[in-house]
């Protein structure tokens, strides 16, 4: 017997008038508060389906919610179909990405939950129908973009519960393409009668939504100091015994003097537009610095980070590529790109496409991956130069890290990729990294981050051991 | 009786080395990493140190450099091969940093005895008859 979809279940639950709670009783029963009602609809692992159904039914029979057109279904059947054989392997990542995107998009009083493999239901507490539908469309679009590249928007559909007919929920289905076309039309002809859209939907990018009931946030003076600076970290080319490359490294500084760098410095940014802006800052700062050094006869390579979010969205990618096109040709041979925040399992074709977009503007492309990622078969033939990783500085964990380094390089070599490791803080890890086969090594033991990179210089094993963590020169 | 300090994080390697060296009449000390090896060496100097290079927390090259700072007379044999590649490159670095002899793993008993003969000619290893 085929499994019922969530929409079918909803229709079924609504039609099925169980004895314990008739719709009339439900309507008569004191509905404690909107907030409480929504809270109780949140699913927990331990909750039985029956309990969830009962609560959902209460929610659905609440006329205020239903009439507002706030219940929406996003169906990812098309995404699943397009992913084909990759679906079983990517399923968890798709769900994780969908959870993240939806949670970013909805407000604290909204509810979302997943049914099985490909359906999400979202109940908006405050957004009007148009705004809520647009938020759903942006979520669906973003998810398709993450896993398939440019989405075919006409294939992305959103279902909205619009009323009850004969005790059954009535849904209206609309394609994301239609929704976004409508949005564009309204932009051109502002209508006083049109309800205000969430910021994300108005911007046509990102998926965060604001609601009238958004909780207050602390406005701390110290937040002004939480800035992201561009620094440069030397990378040791062990085979050539030279420091010839610097990694452009985002560094987030805090008022207490502490800092985090690299991917961690960007971790708190979830807005794709802010990430894209940061990426363009890194590229701009790097190229301007490189140009100045080049004019002063310095010769060195610089690797620039660029986040997946920037490349995944067409608008920010085009903006980024546009900036790349303005890089003088004589500097491109000194530029490399390091892809950050790429989700596991980006399809081979998608990766190839992104690599090819940036290859004309730099000499190498590296992909930053987790050191425990043992399989790079999806990267074969994509044009990537190599994979980079960051290791834990915990000295107590060095034995395990050494094993991970061995597995990492073995997998990279099988895929025909070079390998680079950052976070090397001890000579023991540097030796283990070289023994494992890494050709590029970075970390405090090789050299700390600097405001301006230097001319390439010889750096041998003796420098590593005798000069400690300080850079020669 | 000559004494030797074996520094290697792999217990099986330490056991094999202990057996080979005890047969040559060495009194053996063992350490599972560089820090422990350095502590042992500081409290009880030995004539010979056999030191692995790839070890967590304190690597073999740093250990050899530190032992060399304490004693210029002790003979040091660096051994390596635990990684996936580049053992010889690292062994050459160890030689530059103070090792008297290098051995790439896996090595035979005769190769070890040859190395000892090279480092400690006055210790009879019978290397030429062995094997």
For chain B, the domain total comes to: 1
Averaged confidence pLDDT in chain B: 89
∠ CA B103-B108-B113, rounded to 5°? 75
pLDDT for the residue A371: 92
CA-based nearest residue in chain B for residue A435: B83
How far apart, in whole angstroms, are the C-alpha atoms of residue A96 and residue B130?
64
Contact A435 B83 (CB under 8 A): yes
Place of tokens 């009668």: A193
pLDDT for the residue A57: 60
Q: Is residue B56 part of a domain?
A: yes
Query: Does residue A35 have a pLDDT over 50?
Result: no
What values do phi and psi take at A370, rounded to 5?
A: -70, 145
Cβ contacts (< 8 Å) between A396 and chain B: which residues?
57
Query: Does residue A422 have a pLDDT over 60?
Result: yes
Q: What average pLDDT does the segment B87-105 reach?
A: 92
Q: Which two tokens stand for residue A112?
A: 């979302």
DSSP for residue B57 = S
Q: Which two tokens stand for residue A66?
A: 């239903």
Q: What average pLDDT does the segment A67-91 reach?
A: 73
Query: Does residue A330 have a pLDDT over 50?
Result: yes
3-state class of B51 per DSSP? Answer: strand
* Closest to A79 (Cα-Cα) out of A165, A4, A143, A129: A143
A101-133: pLDDT as tens digits: 787 777 766 777 776 677 788 877 667 777 777
Averaged confidence pLDDT in chain A: 77
Q: Is residue B130 part of a domain?
A: no
DSSP for residue B129 = T
Radius of gyration of chain B (CA): 13
pLDDT for the residue B82: 61
- Site from A236, A427, A431 to mutate, B interface, most B CB atoms within 10 angstroms: A431
Q: What's the CATH number where B29 sits?
A: 3.40.50.2300
B65 touches chain A (CB under 8 A): yes
What is the dihedral sign for C-alpha A259, A261, A267, A273? positive
Place of tokens 């205020």: A64
Pairing of strands A457-458, A418-422: unpaired
B6-59: pLDDT as tens digits: 999 999 999 999 999 999 999 999 999 999 999 999 999 899 999 999 998 889
* Closest to A179 (Cα-Cα) out of A150, A152, A201: A201
Query: Does residue A395 have a pLDDT over 80?
Result: no
Q: In which order are the strands placed within the sheet that holds A119-123?
A: A111-115, A119-123, A71-75, A157-165, A168-175
Contact A462 B89 (CB under 8 A): no
Q: Estimate the crossing angle of helix A398-414 against helix A427-436, to 10 degrees.
A: 30
pLDDT for the residue A188: 59
How far apart, in whole angstroms, are the C-alpha atoms of residue A418 and residue A411?
10
3-class SS string, chain A: CCCCCHHHHHHHHHHCCCCCCCHHHHHHCCCCCHHHHHHHCCCCCCCCHHHHHHHHHHHHHCHHHHHCCCEEEEECHHHHHHHHHHHHHHHHHHHHHHHHHHHHHCCCCCEEEEECCCEEEEECCCCCHHHHHHHHHHHHHHHHHHHHCCCCHHHCEEEEEEEEECCEEEEEEEEHHHHHHHHHHHHHCCCCCCCCCCHHHHHCCCCCCCCCCCCCCCCCHHHHHCCEEEEEEEEEECCCCEEEEEEEEEEEECCCCCEEECHHHHCCCCCHHHHHHHHHHHHHHHHHHHHHHHHCCCCCEEEEEEEHHHHHCHHHHHHHHHHHHCCCHHHHCCEEEEEECCCCCCCHHHHHHHHHHHHHHCCEEEEECCCCCCCCHHHCCCCCCEEEEECCCCHHHHHHHHHHHHHHHHHHHHCCCEEEEECCCCHHHHHHHHHHCCCEEECCCCCCCECCCCCCEECCHHHHHHCCCCCCC
Q: Which two tokens stand for residue A428?
A: 């023991």
Q: Which two tokens stand for residue B131?
A: 């094997």
pLDDT for the residue A56: 61
Place of tokens 């990766």: A351
**pLDDT range class, residue A269, cuts 50, 70, 90:** confident
In degrees to the nearest 10, what's the CA dihedral of B102, A401, A369, A431?
-20
pLDDT for the residue A211: 46
Give the number of other CB atoms < 10 A from CB of residue A144.
Answer: 21
pLDDT for the residue A409: 95
Q: Pick from A7-21, A260-274, B48-62, B80-94 the range whose average pLDDT is largest.
A: B48-62
Pairing of strands A111-115, A119-123: antiparallel
pLDDT for the residue A94: 77
pLDDT for the residue B71: 94
Contact A402 B56 (CB under 8 A): yes
Q: Is residue B125 part of a domain?
A: no
* Residue A139 and residue A98 in contact, taking contact as beta carbons nearer than 8 Å: yes
Q: Is residue B127 part of a domain?
A: no
CA-based nearest residue in chain B for residue A411: B84
Q: What average pLDDT does the segment A131-147 reach?
A: 77
pLDDT for the residue B102: 95
Name the residue with higher pLDDT: A413 or A255.
A413
B94 touches chain A (CB under 8 A): no
A458-468: pLDDT as tens digits: 999 999 988 65
* Residue B32 and residue B14 in contact, taking contact as beta carbons nearer than 8 Å: yes
* Residue A472 and residue A457 in contact, taking contact as beta carbons nearer than 8 Å: yes
B8 touches chain A (CB under 8 A): no
Q: What average pLDDT does the segment A301-311 reach?
A: 96
Q: Which two tokens stand for residue B40?
A: 């042992």
Cβ contacts (< 8 Å) between A459 and chain B: which residues?
none
Q: Is residue B98 part of a domain?
A: yes
Q: Is residue B31 part of a domain?
A: yes
B103-116: pLDDT as tens digits: 998 899 999 999 99
**pLDDT range class, residue A47, cuts 50, 70, 90:** very low
Out of A432, A437, A462, closest to residue B54 by CB: A432
Share of chain A above pLDDT 70, in %: 69
Cβ contacts (< 8 Å) between A402 and chain B: which residues?
54, 56
* Residue B55 and residue B10 in contact, taking contact as beta carbons nearer than 8 Å: no
Cβ contacts (< 8 Å) between B93 and chain A: which residues?
461-462, 465
Q: What average pLDDT does the segment A269-291 reach?
A: 92
Contact A427 B80 (CB under 8 A): no
Query: Does residue A49 have a pLDDT over 90?
Result: no
- The interface predicted TM-score of the complex, written ipTM, equals 0.88
What values do phi and psi take at A9, rounded to 5?
A: -60, -45
A418: closest CA of chain B, how far (Å): 14
CA-based nearest residue in chain B for residue A425: B57
* Residue A400 and residue A391 in contact, taking contact as beta carbons nearer than 8 Å: no
Query: Does residue A325 have a pLDDT over 80?
Result: yes
Query: Does residue A86 have a pLDDT over 60?
Result: yes
Out of A409, A427, A435, closest to residue B62 by CB: A427
Beta bridge partners of A386: A366, A418
Q: Is residue B126 part of a domain?
A: no
Cβ contacts (< 8 Å) between A436 and chain B: which residues?
83-85
List the domain range (segments joined by +) for residue B94.
Answer: 3-119
Query: Does residue A39 have a pLDDT over 70?
Result: no
How far is residue A180 CA from its own chain's centroid?
22
3-state class of B101 per DSSP? Answer: strand
pLDDT for the residue A203: 41
A170-216: pLDDT as tens digits: 677 777 777 767 766 665 554 444 444 444 444 433 344 444 455 66
Q: Walk me through the domains of chain A, giving residue ranges and CATH numbers.
A: 6-203 (no CATH), 222-466 (3.20.20.450)
A414: closest CA of chain B, how far (Å): 13
In degrees to the nearest 10, what's the CA dihedral of B24, B58, A446, A225?
180
Cβ contacts (< 8 Å) between B59 and chain A: which residues?
426-428, 431-432
Cβ contacts (< 8 Å) between A398 and chain B: which residues?
56-57
pLDDT for the residue A143: 76
A331: closest CA of chain B, how far (Å): 33
Query: Does residue A411 have a pLDDT over 80?
Result: yes
Contact A428 B56 (CB under 8 A): yes
Tell me which of A49-63, A276-290, A445-459, B108-122 is least confident. Answer: A49-63
Q: Which two tokens stand for residue A301?
A: 């390579």
pLDDT for the residue A97: 77
B123: closest CA of chain A, how far (Å): 32
Out of B57, B89, B96, closest to residue A398 by CB: B57
Q: Is residue B97 part of a domain?
A: yes
Query: Does residue B124 have a pLDDT over 70?
Result: no
- Please report how many Cα atoms fall inside a 13 Å half-sphere around the Cα of residue B89, on the Cβ side: 19
* Helix (DSSP H) and strand (DSSP E) numbers for chain B: 5, 5
Query: Does residue A220 have a pLDDT over 90?
Result: no
How far apart, in whole angstroms, are the C-alpha atoms of residue A17 and residue A23?
7
Name the residue with higher pLDDT: A373 or A322.
A322
Q: Which two tokens stand for residue A303?
A: 């690797």
Contact B55 A437 (CB under 8 A): no
């Amino acid at each position: 017997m085929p499994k019922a979809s969530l929409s079918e279940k909803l229709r079924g639950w609504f039609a099925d008038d169980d004895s314990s709670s008739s719709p009339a009783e439900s309507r008569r029963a004191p509905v404690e508060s909107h907030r409480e009602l929504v809270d109780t609809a949140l699913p927990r692992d331990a909750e039985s389906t029956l309990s969830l159904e009962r609560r959902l039914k209460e929610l659905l029979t609440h006329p205020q919610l239903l009439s507002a057109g706030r219940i929406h279904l996003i169906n990812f059947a098309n995404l699943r179909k397009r992913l084909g054989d990759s679906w079983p392997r990517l399923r968890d990542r798709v769900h994780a990405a969908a959870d993240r995107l939806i949670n970013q998009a909805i407000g604290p009083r909204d509810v979302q939950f997943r049914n099985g493999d490909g359906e999400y239901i979202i109940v908006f507490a405050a957004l009007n129908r148009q705004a809520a539908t647009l938020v759903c469309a942006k979520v669906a679009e973003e998810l398709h973009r993450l896993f398939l590249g440019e989405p075919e928007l006409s294939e992305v559909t959103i279902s909205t519960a619009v009323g009850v007919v004969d005790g059954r929920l009535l849904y209206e289905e609309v394609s994301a393409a239609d929704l976004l076309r409508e949005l564009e039309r309204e932009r051109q002809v502002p209508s006083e009668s049109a309800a205000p859209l969430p910021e994300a939907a108005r911007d046509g990018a990102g998926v965060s939504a604001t609601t009238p009931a958004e909780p207050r946030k602390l406005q701390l003076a110290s937040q002004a100091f939480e800035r992201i600076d561009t620094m440069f970290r030397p990378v040791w080319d062990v085979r050539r015994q030279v420091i010839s490359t610097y990694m452009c490294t985002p560094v987030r500084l805090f008022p207490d003097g502490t800092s985090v760098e690299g991917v961690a410095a960007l971790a708190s940014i979830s807005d794709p537009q802010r990430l894209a802006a940061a990426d363009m800052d890194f590229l701009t700062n790097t190229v301007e610095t490189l140009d100045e050094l080049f004019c002063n006869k310095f010769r060195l390579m610089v690797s620039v980070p660029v986040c997946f979010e920037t490349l995944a969205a067409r608008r920010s990618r085009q903006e980024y590529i546009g900036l790349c096109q303005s890089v003088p040709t004589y500097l491109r041979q000194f530029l490399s790109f390091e892809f950050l925040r790429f989700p596991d399992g980006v399809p081979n074709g998608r990766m190839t496409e992104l690599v090819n977009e940036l290859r004309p503007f730099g000499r190498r492309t590296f992909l930053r991956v987790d050191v425990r990622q043992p399989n790079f078969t999806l990267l074969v033939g994509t044009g990537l130069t190599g994979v980079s990783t960051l290791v834990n500085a915990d000295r107590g964990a060095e034995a395990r890290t050494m094993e991970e380094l061995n597995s990492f390089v073995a997998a990279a070599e099988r895929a025909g990729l070079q390998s680079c490791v950052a976070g090397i803080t001890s000579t023991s890890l540097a030796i283990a990294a070289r023994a494992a086969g890494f050709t590029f090594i970075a970390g405090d033991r090789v050299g700390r981050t600097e405001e301006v990179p230097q001319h390439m210089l010889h750096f041998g094993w003796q420098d590593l051991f005798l000069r400690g963590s300080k850079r020669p020169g | 009786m000559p004494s030797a300090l074996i520094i290697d994080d792999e217990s099986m390697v330490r056991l094999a080395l202990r057996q080979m060296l005890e047969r040559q009449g060495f009194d053996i000390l063992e350490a599972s990493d560089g820090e422990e090896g350095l502590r042992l060496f500081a409290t009880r100097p030995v004539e010979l140190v056999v030191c692995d290079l790839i070890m967590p927390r304190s690597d073999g090259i740093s250990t050899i450099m530190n032992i060399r700072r304490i004693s210029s007379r002790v003979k040091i044999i660096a051994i390596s091969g635990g990684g996936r590649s580049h053992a010889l490159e690292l062994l050459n670095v160890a030689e530059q940093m103070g090792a008297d002899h290098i051995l790439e793993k896996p090595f035979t008993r005769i190769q070890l005895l040859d190395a000892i003969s090279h480092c400690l000619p006055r210790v009879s290893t019978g290397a030429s008859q062995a094997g």
